[in-house]
Chain A
Amino acid sequence: MYMGPHSCATMRAVPRWIWPFVTGAVLLVAWWIPYDRGAFPQGTVPSQGAVAEAFYAEISSGRLIDDTIASLFRVAWGYVLAVVAAVPLGLVIGRSPAAAAALMPWVNFFRNMSPIAWVPFAVVWFGIGDPPAIFIIFMATFFQIVLATAAAAGSVPKIYYRVAEDLGERGHNVLFRVTLPAIMPQLVTALRVAIGVAWMVDVAAEMIAVRSGLGFLIIDARNGLRMDLVVCGMITIGAIGIGLDAAFARLARIPSVRWGFER
């Protein structure tokens, strides 16, 4: 529905940071009204008060903090290992047609496989605890980052390499002084997408292979029919997801990276 120029002017006049709170309030109302009128069957949707009490109890007991730390620990390990392994491989594939021909079909093969398909192997190989979750996060992000890095490295304009050759850059200097900085904007975007994937997959992995973390909190709460705790876990996951995304979005503001976002 077209709301006219005056409505647009009003929206522009309101500070942008207010809008998420406005839409959040609308969501709360959309939750509260049907709950208050008894539209949901008993025990299927918690009240907002119950969720707030669950939050208070979980924070007071320290369990929510412990679970959050456990989840972030696994994501950090799985993600960092994936980045460290995937970026060099992506650079090789992006710069070498022979490596691309040999490896890209397999990168695509594994990239399209749901990370949950690795759960049986993760449990058989690593048992229960942090390692299987880290392994699943690694498998979920590694191939995504390889593909993004390879695509970025393969599309660096030839002119940069010609200029670098003129300027006497040779061997690994070309990699570190031309290829890597040239792909940085695309790499930052890929890393930002991958951290979101890692966070999502971690929650799924914790529902299966570990006994701590936010994923376990949710599945444990479901088993105890504590839907208030389930929502508490979901809100925490979403909030941390926003925080991680915001942190990675800041990478795009680094001056030597920002050029890729300002054309």
Chain B
Amino acid sequence: MTDRDDASPMLRLTGVGFDYGEIRVIDGLDLEVARGELVVCVGPSGCGKSTLLSLLGGHLHPTRGRVVRNGQSRTIYQDGGLFPWLTVAENIARGLPRETAPAAVATKVREWLGITRLAEFAGHYPHQLSGGMRQRVEIARALAGETDLLLMDEPFSALDYQTRNRMRRELVATLAERPRTVVFVTHDIEEAAQLGDRVIVLGARPARVVRTLALPAARPRTPASPGVADAEHAIMEELGLT
């Protein structure tokens, strides 16, 4: 079941399991995510990372166990999460509560267009933007609404290497200004080690946490930052890639 209480942590999963028909996708998964923490989730392909995010976001309900989420969540997808019939500004405005006054909507949208450097594209439609720009709009829409919890499902995996690196830096900078709790799913080990406060490694299906790695708090990180190389090595070892 999915419940809500006002106590910390932001997320608590206890003995969570999820089956797609006969297939046991997740089993016996325990996890806590503190408020303001950025937890990166890595695991082998098809292990159930995206299913886990759907459970965290309340889009799926666990077959077994319990998910407690203390706040509103928004999911940022790899691509295609923007409404294609709305402009950039209108998409961001959709992120705001419906009761927001029109003047406040305009102010907030302008602010987020500035933060994401999309002011000159306010009237453009998603199909007129590059992949990186679309992701910036998604992030702006998710953060504009003062959401407590961001769930990011391989948000940068469709981008080229340079854009991906820039988007990571921009995410880190945006979160430094406006802290949020984030669960970030990726298959990119370098990304996991550079972004996370904590990296959880999921085992092959049925998924459960097989290892948790705490990383130094300082961000932004580069491959040369303390602890990053060790974390990458540990993740690769756990995934059987060494």
Contacts and interface: CB of A to CB of B under 8 A. Distances in A.
A65 B168 CA distance: 66
Contacts of A262: 127
A159 B59 CA distance: 10
B85 A162 contact: no
Contact of A166 (B57, B83, B85, B86): B57
Interface string B108-138: 0000000000000000011100000000000
B81 A181 contact: no
Contacts of B97: 168
Nearest to B74: A166
A162 B83 contact: no
Interface string A210-230: 000000000000000000000
A259 B84 contact: yes
A184 B85 CA distance: 9
B127 A167 contact: no
A262 B128 CA distance: 9
Given A162-B75, A167-B95, A255 B125 contact: yes
Nearest to B87: A255
Interface residues of B, number: 23
B73 interface: yes
Given A168-B98, A255-B125, A163 B85 contact: no
A260 B83 CA distance: 12
B85 A159 contact: no
A20 interface: no
B85 A182 contact: yes
Contacts of A184: 85
B145 to A, nearest CB: 7
A178 B127 contact: no
A163 B83 contact: yes
A165 B59 contact: yes
A114 interface: no
Given A256-B85, A259-B84, A166 B127 contact: no
Given A167-B145, A255-B125, A159 B84 contact: no
A145 to B, nearest CB: 20
Contacts of B125: 255, 258-259
Nearest to A262: B127
B216 interface: no
Contacts of B57: 162, 166
Nearest to A259: B84
Contact of B85 (A157, A167, A181, A263): A181
A81 interface: no
A159 B95 contact: no
A72 interface: no
A73 interface: no
21 contacts: A159-B77, A159-B81, A160-B83, A162-B59, A163-B83, A165-B58, A166-B73, A166-B74, A167-B94, A167-B95, A167-B145, A178-B83, A182-B83, A182-B84, A182-B85, A256-B86, A258-B125, A259-B84, A259-B126, A259-B127, A262-B127
Given A160-B83, A259-B125, 6 more contacts: A157-B80, A159-B77, A162-B75, A166-B73, A168-B98, A255-B125
